[in-house]
Amino acid sequence: MNEISLLIGGKAGFGIDTASLIIARILNQLGLRLYIYRDYPSLIRGGHTFSIVRAAEKMIYAHREKVDFLIALNQDTVDLHRDKIKDGTIIIYDSDTVKSEGTGISLGKIIQEENAPEIMRNTAVTGAFSQAAGIPWDITEKVLKNNIAKEVDLNLKVARRGFDAVGTLFKLEPQKEKILPILTGNEALSLGLIRGGLKNYVAYPMTPCSSVLHFMASAAPDFGLKVLHPESEISVILMALGFSYMGEKTAVGTSGGGFCLMVEGLSFSGMSELPVVIIVGQRPGPSTGLPTYSAQTELSFVLNAGQGEFSRLVVAPGDAEEAYYLSALCLNLSWKYQLPAIILTDKNLSEGAYSFNIDSAGEINEEQPLMWGRQPVYKRYLNTETGVSPLAFVPDKDAVIKINSYEHDESGITTEDVQLTKLMQEKRLRKEKYLSEELEKYKTVEVSGNKQSGIVLVCWGSNKGVCIEAAGKNNLRVIHPLVLRPFPITQFQQALQGVEKIICVENNAGGQLADLLNLHGIRVDARILKYDGRPFTLEELESEIEKAVK
C-alpha cells in the first residue's frame, strides 16, 4: 500500500507543529491524502510535543499504531514512543542532543555553519526527511517557499543541508489525483460559518476553540467580519445575542468550562428566540481536566443545558467536510427557527488536520430568515402555526421590537397570565417539531462500510473516520448520526434495518450516545470507550472491535 506514517517530536517551542504541517504539504504534492494528529502539553516552552503525519491513497482520519519514520529533535521522542517503532522504522535524530540508533544528523553544526537561528533545526530535519522519503528537492523547495514568510533563502539553505545529509531510504509513488488543501477541523468549521453568512464571531480564548478565534480574526478583513474577544464567556454570549437582535448572524466558540458560563445566555436565547450558534470543542474534564487533549464528554450536557424547556439544534460533524457543511447549515437553521444551535466538536477534530475536498462537502448557501411583511402591526412574538414569528430589526420606523427574558406576550411585554404562559411555551417548543420535519430533507444519519452487515459500529463526531477504517477489517456496518437534537429517529431506524448487534464507540467513560439511543428505545449491546484524552489508533480500535464482536 502506498502509505506513510511519521512522528516528529521535540520540546514545545521547537516548531514541531510548523514542521509537521510543512512535511504534510510536501507529501500532499504527491497527490496523497493527509491526516495530522497533534499532541502537545498545556505549556508554552519545554515539555514534549509531537505530531503524527499519515499520508495514504484514500481519505484518512486516524493515525496508525506504528510509524515508518521517527524524527527526533529531543530524547523524549525516542524514549516515549518506542511502542510506535516496528521493524524497518527509520529514525532520523539530532545527534547533538539525542542518543539513538538510526540516522543521526548534527543539526547544531548545520545551524552554526549557516549562521541560522536555533528554531531552524526543524527546517533541517524537514529537508532530511524529504530526501529519506525519496521526495525530489524541487517539491521540497516549492513547498518551503510557499509556506515560509521570513528568511526564505536561509531556510532553503538549511533545508538543503538536511536534505544532503541523508540518503533515500523509502519509496512513495506519486498519485495522479487533484491536490487538496489541508485544513484543521476548526478552519473548515470557520469557513462553513462564513459561507452560511456569518457577520460576527465572539469568543474568549479556550482550547480547543482558540484557533477558531484566531482564524476568524485573521479572516475578518477579507470577509467583512467583526471579531471580538470580550471579558468573559458570559459577555461573549450576551454580545452575540445583542448582534442577533440587530439581525447580524453571530457565532461563539468555547470548550466545556466556557460553555458552563454561557448556559444562562443559552437559556435566554431559547426564551428570547434570538438565534446564536455555539461551537463547543470538547476536552477531558471534569473541571480544567486535560486542556490540550480530547474527549466526547459534553453530549449529555449540551443536549440538556439551560434552565427551562426550549428548542435547540445540536450537530456533531465527523470530519472537515462535515464541519464545513454542518456549520453553514446550523447557522441557516438557527435563524430559520430562531433558536440556539450547538456545533459539537472535540480537540481531535478541531485541531487535527485533514485533506479537505470542498466539492464533496455539499453545496450550501446563505439563507434569509422569515421577515415581517409590514402588516399587520409588528409583534416580535406573533404566534404562528410553526411557532416562528416574522422578524424586524432596529431601526424600523414602523416597528417597536421588544425582546424579553421573562415570559411575555406576542408584543414582548412581560406576562404571568395562565393562558399566555401556556401558549408561548407551546409556541417555542413547536419550532423544534417543525425543525425536526425539515431535517428529514437532509442526511442526518450516515451509513458506511458494509451496509448488509448485521453488526454495526455506532459512533459520533471525530470517531467517524477511524470507525469506518477499522470496520473494514471485519466488514462491519458503521452508523454515525450528524444531528443529535432533534434526534433523527426515523433515519436512524432506517439505518438500523437488519442489524443484530450494536456496538457504540465513544471517547467518554459512560457511553453518552449509547444512553441517548437507549432513551429512544434502541438497545446498545456493547460499548467501546476510551477516555485517556487520546484518539483511537486504527489498530487499537480494530483489536477492541475483535473483542466486542466475539
Footprint of other proteins (CB under 8 A): 25, 28, 146, 179-183, 187, 191, 194-195, 197, 200, 202, 219, 221-224, 226, 228, 230-232, 234-236, 238-243, 245-248, 264-265, 268, 356, 358, 365-366, 394-397, 399-406, 408, 412-414
Alpha helices in 175-229 (DSSP H): 185-195, 210-223
Could you tell me if residue 273 is left (phi over 0), alpha (psi between -120 and 50 degrees) or otherwise beta?
A: left
Residue 8's SS3 state is: strand
Nearest to other proteins of 284, 306 (CB atom): 306
Nearest to other proteins of 132, 236 (CB atom): 236
Least distance in Å: CB of 414 to other proteins?
A: 5
Least distance in Å: CB of 395 to other proteins?
A: 4
For 509, other C-beta atoms within 10 Å of its C-beta total: 14
User: C-alpha grid cell for residue 180?
Assistant: 487538496
Classify the C-alpha dihedral 265-270-274-277 as positive or negative. Answer: positive
Least distance in Å: CB of 123 to other proteins?
A: 19
What is d(CA 178, CA 357) in angstroms, rounded to the nearest whole number?
Answer: 10
Least distance in Å: CB of 199 to other proteins?
A: 8
Q: Which DSSP string corresponds to 168-190? A: ---------SPPPPEEEHHHHHH
- Residues in contact with 158: Cβ distance below 8 Å, sequence separation at least 6, in sequence order: 110, 111, 114, 116, 120, 123, 124, 127
Contact 74, 47 (CB under 8 A): no
Pairing of strands 250-255, 353-355: unpaired
Least distance in Å: CB of 485 to other proteins?
A: 23
Classify the C-alpha dihedral 179-346-251-309 as positive or negative. Answer: positive
Nearest to other proteins of 26, 98 (CB atom): 26
Taking Cα atoms as reference points, which of 307, 300, 304 lies closest to residue 264?
307
Least distance in Å: CB of 256 to other proteins?
A: 21
Least distance in Å: CB of 265 to other proteins?
A: 7
What is d(CA 445, CA 481) in angstroms, rounded to the nearest whole number?
Answer: 4
Nearest to other proteins of 7, 274 (CB atom): 274
Least distance in Å: CB of 230 to other proteins?
A: 7
Nearest to other proteins of 47, 247 (CB atom): 247
Least distance in Å: CB of 181 to other proteins?
A: 3
The identity of residue 137, as a single letter, is W
What is d(CA 375, CA 405) in angstroms, rounded to the nearest whole number?
Answer: 25
Nearest to other proteins of 180, 455 (CB atom): 180
Nearest to other proteins of 227, 290 (CB atom): 227
Nearest to other proteins of 185, 449 (CB atom): 185
Least distance in Å: CB of 171 to other proteins?
A: 23
Nearest to other proteins of 4, 202 (CB atom): 202
Nearest to other proteins of 351, 544 (CB atom): 351
Classify the C-alpha dihedral 499-504-510-515 as positive or negative. Answer: negative
For 466, other C-beta atoms within 10 Å of its C-beta total: 26
Contact 143, 29 (CB under 8 A): yes
